[in-house]
């Protein structure tokens, strides 16, 4: 046993609480740490969830296509938000941490992933038979314009204002797809907002995905000549 | 292959220190070349160690000590995700 008072204090305290942690045990584990045989964490669940997410096809497809470290972190945090979304408090804390570090735009990128919008759009890209290069370009473009092509409805949002903003964005950019999504208590609000928008724009058809926890309404641009002419006339 | 600790060789055991006594946590960070005032992890010069990703002081109650080059960070999901992005999959869970 060491004669170092700090060590003896530690051993004493350890013995009082548990016999597992002694000065010798700590030194033994530090040697293991230096050989990369062990990592110390407060909350094992957090790191296990992160490691599990990095093994998913959704993450690997994104990682293979996007080299930007910031986007990869925000993507992973989106998967984390999805993994903890039943824990309102944990979700709120993580959303705040994301906003503090990456701003509202960063949060929207994570929410885009959390709500499964990327996964759904990926399926449409695969159906189109894009080449790997086209797929890479589409994914990059998608994440560069998250704020222009998606709305994440929150409790307390003014539905009319959200609908107005969506109409303005659609009329300005004519995106191929615009998504409106929300969780739990705002699911009905999302549906109402989508209806309000559809009443005011031409050339888009809705496609809704509804689960117990979330709803996503995609507004898909209809690319036929009649609609194009109508849209041209209106401008 | 089986390592000395019974784990699988090449994999990293993730050890929870949630129930580790405070004095033991202090000893642990000292063994790794840091200090502590009993709440925060301190640099050798006495400055509070800042999480390299969030720039917030790291507390003994929320620290993660990860391999690479003895990285002590806050164990929030953003810092963990950032660590994994920076260092790659250096942690391969054995559990």
- Count of CB contacts below 8 A, A vs B? 147
Pick the residue of A8, A41, A98 with the most B CBs within 10 A to test the interface with B by mutation.
A41
Chain B positions in Cβ-Cβ contact with residue A97 (cut-off 8 Å): 54, 76-78
Q: Which of B28, B30, B77 sits opposite A50 (nearest CB)?
A: B77
Task: Tell me which long-range contacts A97-105 makes (C-beta under 8 A, separation of at least 24).
Answer: A97/B54, A97/B76, A97/B77, A97/B78, A98/A74, A98/B78, A100/B54, A101/B53, A101/B54, A101/B78, A102/A70, A102/A74, A105/A146, A105/A147
Q: Which of B7, B31, B62 sits opposite A26 (nearest CB)?
A: B31
Q: pLDDT tens digits for chain A (235 residues)? A: 343 444 333 333 333 334 378 899 999 999 999 998 899 999 899 999 999 999 999 999 999 999 999 999 999 999 999 999 888 899 999 999 999 999 999 999 999 999 999 998 888 888 888 899 999 999 999 999 999 999 999 999 999 999 999 999 999 989 989 999 998 889 999 999 999 999 999 999 999 999 888 999 999 999 755 555 554 444 4
Query: Does some domain include residue B10?
Result: no
- In angstroms, the separation between the Cα of residue B49 and the nearest Cα of chain A is 16
pLDDT of residue A88: 87
- Is residue A204 within 8 A of residue A222, CB to CB? The reply is yes
pLDDT of residue A97: 96
pLDDT of residue A127: 87
Overall domain count for chain A = 3
Chain A positions in Cβ-Cβ contact with residue B77 (cut-off 8 Å): 46, 49-50, 77, 80, 84, 94, 97
pLDDT of residue A225: 52
Q: What is the CATH number of the domain that holds A150?
A: 3.30.110.20
Contact B20 A21 (CB under 8 A): yes
Q: Whole domain around residue A122: which residue ranges?
A: 44-144
Q: State residue A102 phi and psi, 5-degree precision.
A: -120, 0
pLDDT of residue A195: 96
> Are both A223 and A171 inside the same structural domain?
yes
For tokens 């993580």, the residue is A94
Query: Does some domain include residue B29?
Result: yes
Query: Does some domain include residue A81?
Result: yes
> Are both A53 and A139 inside the same structural domain?
yes
pLDDT in tens, B26-42: 999 999 999 999 999 99
Query: Does some domain include residue A39?
Result: no
pLDDT of residue A164: 97
> Are both A222 and A155 inside the same structural domain?
yes
> Are both A151 and A177 inside the same structural domain?
yes
SS3 state at A2: coil
Query: Does some domain include residue A99?
Result: yes
Query: For a pLDDT cut of 90, what percent of chain B falls above it?
Result: 66
Given A126, A144, A162, which residue is the final one in a domain?
Answer: A144
> Are both A23 and A108 inside the same structural domain?
no
> Are both A149 and A230 inside the same structural domain?
yes
Query: Does some domain include residue A202?
Result: yes
pLDDT of residue B26: 96
Query: Does some domain include residue A215?
Result: yes
Average pLDDT value for chain A: 86
> Are both A140 and A50 inside the same structural domain?
yes
Query: Does some domain include residue B36?
Result: yes
Complex ipTM > 0.95: no
Spatial CB neighbours of A36, under 8 Å, sequence gap ≥ 6 = B12, B67, B90
Q: Whole domain around residue B67: which residue ranges?
A: 22-87
Query: Does some domain include residue B14?
Result: no
Overall domain count for chain B = 1
pLDDT of residue B4: 35
pLDDT of residue B74: 95
Query: Does some domain include residue A207?
Result: yes
Chain A positions in Cβ-Cβ contact with residue B65 (cut-off 8 Å): 33, 39-41
Inform me whether the pLDDT recorded for B2 exceeds 50.
no
Query: Does some domain include residue A156?
Result: yes
Query: Does some domain include residue B95?
Result: no
> Are both A150 and A87 inside the same structural domain?
no
Given A144, A166, A197, which residue is the final one in a domain?
Answer: A144
- Is residue A59 within 8 A of residue B31, CB to CB? The reply is no
- In angstroms, the separation between the Cα of residue B64 and the nearest Cα of chain A is 4
Spatial CB neighbours of A171, under 8 Å, sequence gap ≥ 6 = A201
Contact A10 B91 (CB under 8 A): no
The more confident residue out of A206 and B7 is: A206
Query: Does some domain include residue B33?
Result: yes
Contact A39 B15 (CB under 8 A): yes
């Amino acid at each position: 046993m060491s004669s170092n008072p700090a060590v003896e204090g530690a051993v004493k305290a350890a013995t009082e609480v548990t016999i597992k942690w002694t000065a010798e045990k700590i030194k033994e584990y530090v040697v293991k740490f230096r050989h990369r045989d062990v990592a110390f964490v407060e909350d094992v669940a957090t790191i296990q969830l992160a490691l599990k997410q990095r093994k998913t096809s959704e993450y690997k497809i994104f990682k293979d296509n996007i080299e930007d470290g910031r986007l990869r972190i925000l993507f992973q945090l989106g998967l984390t938000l999805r993994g903890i979304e039943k824990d309102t408090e944990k979700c709120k804390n993580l959303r705040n941490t994301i906003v503090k570090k990456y701003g509202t735009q960063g949060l929207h990128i994570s929410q885009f992933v959390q709500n499964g919008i990327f996964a759904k759009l990926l399926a449409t890209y695969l159906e189109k038979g894009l080449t790997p290069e086209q797929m890479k370009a589409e994914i990059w473009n998608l994440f560069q314009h998250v704020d222009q092509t998606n709305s994440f409805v929150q409790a307390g949002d003014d539905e009319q204002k959200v609908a107005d903003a969506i109409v303005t964005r659609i009329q300005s950019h004519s995106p191929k797809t615009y998504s409106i999504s929300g969780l739990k208590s705002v699911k009905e609000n999302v549906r109402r907002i989508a209806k309000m928008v559809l009443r005011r724009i031409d050339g888009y058809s809705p496609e809704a995905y509804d689960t117990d926890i979330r709803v996503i309404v995609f507004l898909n641009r209809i690319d036929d000549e009649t609609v194009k002419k109508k849209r041209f006339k209106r401008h | 292959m089986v390592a000395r600790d019974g784990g699988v060789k090449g994999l990293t055991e993730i050890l929870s220190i949630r129930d580790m006594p405070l004095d033991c946590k202090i000893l642990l960070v000292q063994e790794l070349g840091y200090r502590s005032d009993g709440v925060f992890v301190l640099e050798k010069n006495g400055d509070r160690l800042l999480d390299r990703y969030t720039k917030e002081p790291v507390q003994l109650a929320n620290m993660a000590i990860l391999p690479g080059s003895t990285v002590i960070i806050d164990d929030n999901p953003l810092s963990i995700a950032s660590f994994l992005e920076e260092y790659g999959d250096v942690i391969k869970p054995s559990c």
